[in-house]
Amino acid sequence: MPPLTRRDALRAGGASVLAGLAGCSAPSSTTTNEESPTATSSSADGTAGIDAAWERALGGETALGPALADGTLYAGTADGTLHALDPGTGATRWTADAGAGFFGGTGGGGATPTVVGDTVYVVAGARTGVSGGDFRAAAFDATNGSETWSFTPDEHGFLTLLGVHEGLVYAATSDDYLQNEGETLYALDAASGDVSWTAAVGDPSGWAFGAGGVYVESFSGVRAVSTDDGSPRWSASGGLTDGVGVAGDTLVAGFEPEDRPSLAGLDPATGDVRWRGPERRVPSYAVADGVVYAGGETAEAYDAATGERRWSAESRWGGLVTGPPVGGRLPVLSRGFLHVFDAATGERRWGTEVAVDSALVAGRSRVAYVSSTADGAVPSTLVVRDAATGDPVRSVTVDAGVTLTTPVLDGDAAVVATGDGHVYRFRT
């Protein structure tokens, strides 16, 4: 029996796949000036009659769901084409050949482009069986799509884009196994793509930057290295419940409990424990503005520096914290319900019954998600709610068998793509 891969483990747990990317010859880039897309959809993709503000056909299956950055909407197709669209009109600003594809499915983590200044950074590659191939990291001019540089690692396997931090692009290899060792973290000069330094890490499943370090989580531990030169700081073994986060001079991590509270605040330089959280398992948490928001049996908030509890919601309103607060509101998913709390006080603002099959996307005025993608016989539905009240403001159902990506919010509008390569913008 082959070893259990991290993607197998993620599928078994119902989580979305965090994939990685990059490594072949430098593909060419092309710019386009196509006409604006139509405001109605055709019946060919199972979305006939949908009243969209605009629709854009990408010309191939969607492999990278829509992502909005610095006023441009990015999406990718299975052949490795990166599309840059005007989010207001859907018109194509440019396209570029990023590489062999965008592994991770529609909206896969680790493949989403990162935009800093006038440069777009992306990783592309393909999966063959349980292995990755032709993975590379590349930088493109955000104004016209021309390629600035590319980097191909020596190792065969997957490559994940961790992000861009203080002038360096971070990308890590993986062989798809559940290890906290044996992989390489590359720190690339953001302007040239040259390797500034490398460090030993595990298969990346989560990561964070801050306090002079980069912290790479695997399914069996976490490693910390200095962002100055890649020198190792410390490592810790044990499965993590929900990634790592940096708040000021504290690293927050949640380990699977071993007769101890699972949530902890660590010294980012040494890994020493500064505080431990509640006497229960914390399966999800988010860090923002010096506060740790924890899920589980109940939703709670803690001071990230001291671990002191700030508030605790009623136990019947626990669940999974889906991300940091937006507009002062903290969404929590629990057994078919969505609860939204006041991030400062823990007061429950509203709650409603939901069926969420994509990532939950929270904005200042809207909350959006896709329902029923898990069952191919049930039509997928894009649902948009008022973020302040929970009232539904828009729902769009496509034909059974048509998949939808995780939506993107652009103010009051929602953008979503079908698996077969059509992007839609809906007014709400």
Identify the CATH number of the domain in which residue 216 sits: 2.40.128.630
pLDDT band for position 424 (50/70/90)?
A: very high
Average pLDDT over residues 314-338: 91
Is 416 part of a structural domain of the chain? no
CB 346 within 8 A of CB 301: yes
Which long-range contacts link 296-302 to residues 24+ away (Cβ below 8 Å)? 299/330, 299/332, 299/339, 299/341, 299/346, 300/346, 301/343, 301/346, 302/263, 302/277
In this structure, is residue 335 part of a structural domain? Answer: no
pTM for this one?
Answer: 0.86
Enter the DSSP assignment of 109: B
More confident residue, 158 or 258: 158
State which residues form the domain around 71.
6-314
Between the CA of residue 356 and those of 11, 50, 106, 152, what are the distances in Å? 16, 21, 16, 37
CA–CA distances in Å: residue 126 to residues 113, 157, 190, 379? 16, 9, 24, 29
415 located within any domain? no
Average pLDDT on 395-408 reads: 89
**Whether the predicted pLDDT of 219 surpasses 70:** yes
In contact, 311 and 300? CB cutoff 8 Å: yes
Of 7 and 203, the structure prediction assigns the larger pLDDT to 203
* 370: in domain: no
Taking the C-alpha atoms of residue 35 and residue 33, their distance in angstroms, rounded to an integer, is 7
Residue 422 lies in a domain: no
Element at 11 (helix H, strand E): helix 6-13
In a domain, 148, yes or no: yes
CA distance 127 to 99: 13
Check residue 8 and report its DSSP letter: H
d(CA 312, CA 345): 9
Percentage above 70 pLDDT, the chain: 83
Q: How many domains does the chain have?
A: 1
Does residue 70 form part of some domain? yes
- Structure confidence by residue, pLDDT tens digits, 223-243: 999 999 999 999 988 777 677
Question: Of 276, 301, 272, whose CA–CA distance to 286 is shortest?
Answer: 301
Amino acid at 272: D
What are the tens digits of pLDDT across the range 58-115? 999 999 999 999 999 999 999 999 999 999 999 999 999 999 998 753 223 567 899 9
Q: Which residues contact 180 (CB under 8 A, 6 or more apart)?
A: 202, 203, 218, 219, 220, 221, 222, 223, 235, 237
Partners of residue 84 on adjacent β-strands: 74, 94
Q: pLDDT at residue 31 above 60? A: no
Rounded to whole angstroms, how far apart are CA atoms 203 and 218?
Answer: 5
State the average pLDDT over residues 307-316: 90
What is the pLDDT of the chain when averaged over all its residues?
A: 84
42: pLDDT strictly greater than 50: no
Residue 426 per-residue DSSP state: E
The string of DSSP codes covering 200-219 is EE---SEEEEETTEEEEEET
* Confidence at residue 13, expressed as pLDDT on a 0 to 100 scale: 31
Burial class of residue 8, CB neighbours in 10 A (0-12, 13-18, 19+): middle
Supply the pLDDT for residue 182: 86
**Domain contains 369:** no
Instruction: State how far the Cα of 131 lies from the Cα of 315, in Å rounded to an integer.
Output: 43
